[in-house]
A and B are shown apart, each in its own frame.
Chain A
């Protein structure tokens, strides 16, 4: 299982939790796992998010590997000017 840290504004969609455990081996499975456990997160995830895995911000790569002991943070989707 992987511990996924949510930004605190998402607690309202995850039964008040800011850390959710999902069974995942990559970023895509992390996102799918979050929606399965907490369907209220679907709109936010569909709108676009980034995932920080061990400090590396994954903007879009669903196949990026996630290990059981990885530090995983859901983040707002990054863009720039």
Chain B
């Protein structure tokens, strides 16, 4: 057996809908989430937050809070490391304000007390003197000449001369000559679009428990990446990274929002100051006000099309505000915008803009859904005005292997055409719509990612396996990893236990982001298992007195590779592991590397929407997700990711938005006022898994977690626009916006 050959057929465990290992603990309440961790002598912390959108901090007086009985410590910015720069400084500025409060909800101090109630009382006794400054929360206004400067000197060298200081980064890419392309078109449409910021909406608020000792510490927290937490917290506390051990709890949703740190350094600073363990749990209001929503956007799109549906050129300008810090994912918005299409002439420009809002955090395919909304809306309008089938037009222009991506490189094997063909063949696409309903389709694209990955697979004496991975399980990865390990070892799925190891146990692991876990940790698991199998074959070879290469591993047994290898009875895995201590020692497979073969992913969504023109309310009546998964390790989980992306997209498209008052304060910081979809809002989300294998993974896996949120905004907007009879250009398409659009249409 070659130990590194690609395996794409004859799977026994992979592809099965196995039971999830964490399911029972979660439904019975046994699973330990961030807020469930406790320690003897533990204190409770609360954070003092700015009520102003933009203000200079003149003075902070903590004396009254410190004097309150039961209070054990108060920290401000002075309790964190000095001399940080770049990204680390931005993170610290966001975690605890320095000279200025930059948004409503920005942390300015924190207290630790013997009870949550005392901590909250003490919080109110911290006296902060502010000098209120002008603020701006809208992305277009933040770029205007009269906008207040939020953080002077933040812009990098990419920003063109003459732009406002709030524009801090610029991206431009593309190829060809767009003007020549527009000249070839029979119809050119140019339009503008806006989307509001939305929150990832994870059900579990951020929570952690910190315990600092002499120059070292332990931290338990809900996070998508505990090595990243270790690195950032060590920098902010002035610790050596290895002296801080971080353990990831179960996680109640992340969607990108838990790739950052917000409260962890604060809890560590309070623990260091009080010499006690400190627990810090955010309220829902704090989550909305002070953790990362996605960017809001303002976009201009121009696309030319011939009468036969050929797209002759595309151009997009994408302005994203990412709060008061650089990092709005405008380059991804730009690069994803036209990625589904094979264009001779294309140009995309992105602007990263500061505003007095919380620091944006990644949210599933950061930047891509907004781009799809704008571009796919214009394509839909072109198809409508030219009398063309929107699916046929997308097929005609679709990116495929060998065509040039809008951002440059030539595509390898990709599955967009296959998703479009599956959409065309799906009964949903040919089913008639009822009166008052409209149908929309959209394509979507996401890059996917590999990243630094470490995995250890240790065999037990009884032939079962303990698999340690370092990527928190945000989407069912423990089951998928166990399936891949079982496949390689030839043992039952139930004989593999997957654990999310802490930072002291494995080498570095990048965050669970970029839809990388099933790809990268999966690849690492396969390689680690193959290493273990190689050792097993070696032990069998030694027992038989033959060459190691003359032994093969099949279905959990070592066997002679053929008649020439000799006549020996196959040896099962448990017979080899029983004696491993006497035949060379423990059998462990490792993998530590940075896999670079993450395959990109495309999806096509079909949506039927019904609009009540009297109330402006929209109902999604039918929804089908078709996406390339490369290879679905566990189809149930893959379908879940498809459905989850669609549902979050429905919320983003129809209801969810950050609403700021004239005073720059967030008006809807509770789920009562920030409306995410619930089950009764939704139809069953139908799914089709397309499998175009990724050549960069042993089983062909492509990440699936993010691409599913790329098409929904556009597909729903196209459906709603068809149902309402008017083009909707701003998200969310809430009832007031739909009524306003209908009113504008009726009154010219």
- Asked whether A55 lies within 8 Å of B411 as measured between CB atoms, the reply is yes
A-B contact count (CB 8 A): 103
Q: Tell me if B597 is interfacial: C-beta within 8 Å of chain A.
A: yes
* Minimum C-beta distance from B56 to chain A (A): 29
Distance A13 CA – B411 CA, assembled complex (angstroms): 27
Q: Which residues of B contact A9 (CB under 8 A)?
A: 158, 170-173, 349
Please name the residue on chain A nearest to B414 by beta carbon. A55
List which B426-456 residues lie within 8 A (CB) of chain A: 446-452
Q: Chain A's interface: helix, strand, loop or mixed, by majority?
A: mixed
Distance A78 CA – B520 CA, assembled complex (angstroms): 15
Q: Tell me if A16 is interfacial: C-beta within 8 Å of chain B.
A: no
- Asked whether A44 lies within 8 Å of B365 as measured between CB atoms, the reply is no
Please name the residue on chain A nearest to B347 by beta carbon. A8
Q: Which residues of B contact A59 (CB under 8 A)?
A: 449-451, 594, 596
Distance A78 CA – B516 CA, assembled complex (angstroms): 11
Q: With A8-B173, A80-B366 as given contacts, are A54 and B410 in contact (CB-CB < 8 Å)?
A: yes
Q: Which residues of A contact B514 (CB under 8 A)?
A: 78-81
Of the candidates A10, A47, A79, A81, the one whose C-beta lies within 8 Å of that of B255 is A81
Q: Tell me if B83 is interfacial: C-beta within 8 Å of chain A.
A: no
Q: Which residues of B contact A52 (CB under 8 A)?
A: 408-409
Using an 8 Å CB-CB cutoff, how does the interface string of A1-37 with B read, 1 for contact, 0 for none? Answer: 0000101111011000000000000000000000000
Of the candidates B156, B347, B447, B597, the one whose C-beta lies within 8 Å of that of A78 is B447
Q: With A76-B171, A81-B256, A81-B363 as given contacts, are A57 and B410 in contact (CB-CB < 8 Å)?
A: no
Using an 8 Å CB-CB cutoff, how does the interface string of B183-200 with A read, 1 for contact, 0 for none? Answer: 000000000000000001
Distance A58 CA – B594 CA, assembled complex (angstroms): 10
Q: Tell me if B635 is interfacial: C-beta within 8 Å of chain A.
A: no
- Asked whether A43 lies within 8 Å of B516 as measured between CB atoms, the reply is no
- Asked whether B365 lies within 8 Å of A81 as measured between CB atoms, the reply is yes
Distance A64 CA – B450 CA, assembled complex (angstroms): 14
Q: Tell me if B332 is interfacial: C-beta within 8 Å of chain A.
A: yes
- Asked whether A76 lies within 8 Å of B408 as measured between CB atoms, the reply is no
Distance A73 CA – B174 CA, assembled complex (angstroms): 12
Using an 8 Å CB-CB cutoff, how does the interface string of B149-173 with A read, 1 for contact, 0 for none? Answer: 0000000111000000000001111
Distance A26 CA – B180 CA, assembled complex (angstroms): 37
Q: With A56-B596, A78-B449 as given contacts, are A7 and B171 in contact (CB-CB < 8 Å)?
A: yes
Q: Looking at chain B, what size class is its interface with the partner chain?
A: 35 or more
Please name the residue on chain A nearest to B173 by beta carbon. A7
Of the candidates A44, A47, A80, the one whose C-beta lies within 8 Å of that of B447 is A80
Q: Which residues of B contact A58 (CB under 8 A)?
A: 596
Distance A35 CA – B349 CA, assembled complex (angstroms): 24
Q: Tell me if B335 is interfacial: C-beta within 8 Å of chain A.
A: yes
Using an 8 Å CB-CB cutoff, how does the interface string of B522-562 with A read, 1 for contact, 0 for none? Answer: 00000000000000000000000000000000000000000
List which B486-528 residues lie within 8 A (CB) of chain A: 513-516
Q: Tell me if B473 is interfacial: C-beta within 8 Å of chain A.
A: no
Q: Tell me if B418 is interfacial: C-beta within 8 Å of chain A.
A: no
Q: Which residues of A contact B156 (CB under 8 A)?
A: 43, 47
Of the candidates B259, B409, B446, B596, the one whose C-beta lies within 8 Å of that of A73 is B409
Q: Which residues of B contact A13 (CB under 8 A)?
A: 157
Distance A71 CA – B409 CA, assembled complex (angstroms): 7
Q: Which residues of A contact B594 (CB under 8 A)?
A: 59-61
- Asked whether A57 lies within 8 Å of B256 as measured between CB atoms, the reply is no
Q: Which residues of B contact A44 (CB under 8 A)?
A: 157-158
List which B381-422 residues lie within 8 A (CB) of chain A: 407-412
- Asked whether A7 lies within 8 Å of B408 as measured between CB atoms, the reply is yes
Q: With A9-B171, A59-B594, A64-B596 as given contacts, are A80 and B448 in contact (CB-CB < 8 Å)?
A: yes
Please name the residue on chain B nearest to A81 by beta carbon. B256
Please name the residue on chain A nearest to B258 by beta carbon. A81
Interface residues contributed by chain A, number (CB under 8 Å): 29
Please name the residue on chain A nearest to B256 by beta carbon. A81
Distance A4 CA – B331 CA, assembled complex (angstroms): 19
**Interface-central residue, B347, B409, B449, by most chain A CB under 10 Å:** B409
Distance A54 CA – B405 CA, assembled complex (angstroms): 12
Distance A56 CA – B363 CA, assembled complex (angstroms): 24
- Asked whether B172 lies within 8 Å of A57 as measured between CB atoms, the reply is no
- Asked whether A56 lies within 8 Å of B696 as measured between CB atoms, the reply is yes
Q: Tell me if A45 is interfacial: C-beta within 8 Å of chain B.
A: no
Q: Which residues of A contact B516 (CB under 8 A)?
A: 80
Please name the residue on chain B nearest to A48 by beta carbon. B87
Q: Tell me if A66 is interfacial: C-beta within 8 Å of chain B.
A: no
List which B211-238 residues lie within 8 A (CB) of chain A: none
Q: Tell me if B598 is interfacial: C-beta within 8 Å of chain A.
A: yes
* Minimum C-beta distance from B512 to chain A (A): 10
- Asked whether A80 lies within 8 Å of B410 as measured between CB atoms, the reply is no
For the A-B complex with A76-B331, A79-B366, A81-B366 known, give 18 more contacts whose Cβ atoms are closer than 8 Å.
A7-B408, A9-B349, A10-B158, A44-B158, A47-B156, A52-B409, A59-B449, A71-B410, A76-B335, A79-B449, A80-B446, A80-B447, A80-B449, A80-B513, A80-B516, A81-B363, A81-B513, A81-B514
Q: Which 10 A-B pairs have the closest CB atoms?
A: A81-B256, A80-B514, A81-B362, A9-B172, A52-B409, A73-B408, A7-B173, A55-B412, A76-B331, A81-B364
Task: Report B's interface with A, CB cutoff 8 A.
Answer: 156-158, 170-174, 200, 255-257, 259, 331-332, 335, 347, 349, 361-366, 407-412, 446-452, 513-516, 594, 596-598, 696, 706
A-B contact pairs, 30 of them (CB 8 A): A7-B172, A8-B173, A8-B174, A9-B349, A44-B157, A47-B156, A52-B408, A52-B409, A54-B409, A54-B410, A54-B412, A56-B596, A57-B409, A57-B598, A59-B596, A60-B452, A60-B594, A61-B596, A73-B408, A75-B335, A75-B408, A78-B449, A80-B256, A80-B362, A80-B366, A80-B448, A81-B200, A81-B255, A81-B257, A81-B706
